[in-house]
């Protein structure tokens, strides 16, 4: 399987359009529930961020309730990506995502070699930090990418972690 991050980002943009999202923060829980996917929060091991699976025809997303709410949002979006992009894989087995640093799932993902995770991260980043809204916020705020306080304020606005925002900003012009 080959990673297709631009297709993943386009799928996220389609969901944003279809759901009528006009601003941030993106209502990830409502989007998931509107897609008839069960969203469950439960305490999991620290290194488990989330999981995606389909049982008896019902899509399920599990998110680690012990993680920071912003991380939970990213985990939920990442797991939604697996439902949207990799349904054939998660029908066969539970897909578990171990704790990822920034947007990375684990050491395999950090090497950029797992196509499922590359696509899921691209989808989640676009869904929660849509390029369109990010550009507007940057144009309005005149943010200096070296300004930690500015990046943290932008991250709060989008309800994502500052590290996720930095990662997104670093790659925002790579299409």
Query: pTM for the full model?
Result: 0.87
The pLDDT of residue 140? 80
Give the per-residue pLDDT at 36: 96
Tell me phi and psi for residue 87, to 5 degrees: -55, -35
Sort 31 into a burial class: Cβ within 10 Å, 0-12 / 13-18 / 19+.
buried
Backbone angles phi, psi at 40, to 5 degrees: -125, 140
CATH architecture of 5-129: Orthogonal Bundle (1.10)
**Regions of the chain where pLDDT drops below 50:** 100-111, 172-175
pLDDT on residue 134: 92
pLDDT given at position 68: 95
Q: What is the H or E stretch that residue 52 is in? A: strand 48-55
Per-residue pLDDT reduced to its tens digit, 46-95 = 888 999 988 888 999 999 999 999 999 999 999 999 999 988 877 776 66
In 28-110, which residue ranges form alpha helices assigned H by DSSP?
A: 28-34, 69-85, 87-92, 107-110
**Quick one: which of 70, 81, 64, 63 has its CA closest to 7?**
81
- Give the separation between CA 44 and CA 67, rounded to whole angstroms: 9
pLDDT at 156: 95
pLDDT the model gives residue 46: 85
C-alpha 169/C-alpha 175 separation (Å) is 13
- DSSP string covering 111-139, please? TT--HHHHHHHHHHHHHHS-HHHHHHHHH
The per-residue pLDDT for 112 is: 55
- In whole angstroms, what is the distance from residue 50 CA to residue 72 CA? 8
């Amino acid at each position: 399987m080959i990673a297709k991050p631009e297709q993943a980002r386009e799928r996220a943009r389609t969901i944003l359009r279809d759901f009528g999202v006009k601003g941030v923060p993106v209502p990830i829980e409502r989007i998931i529930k509107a897609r008839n996917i069960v969203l469950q929060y439960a305490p999991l091991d620290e290194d488990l961020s989330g999981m995606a699976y389909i049982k008896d025809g019902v899509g399920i997303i599990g998110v680690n309730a012990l993680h920071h709410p912003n991380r939970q949002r990213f985990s939920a979006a990442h797991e939604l990506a697996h439902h949207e992009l990799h349904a054939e894989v998660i029908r066969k087995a539970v897909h578990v995502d171990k704790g990822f640093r920034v947007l990375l799932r684990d050491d395999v993902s950090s090497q950029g070699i797992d196509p499922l995770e590359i696509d899921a991260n691209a989808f989640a980043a676009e869904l929660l930090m849509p390029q369109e809204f990010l550009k507007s916020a940057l144009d309005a705020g005149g943010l200096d990418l070296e300004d930690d306080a500015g990046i943290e304020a932008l991250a709060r606005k989008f309800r994502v972690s500052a590290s996720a925002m930095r990662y997104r900003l670093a790659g925002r012009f790579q299409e």
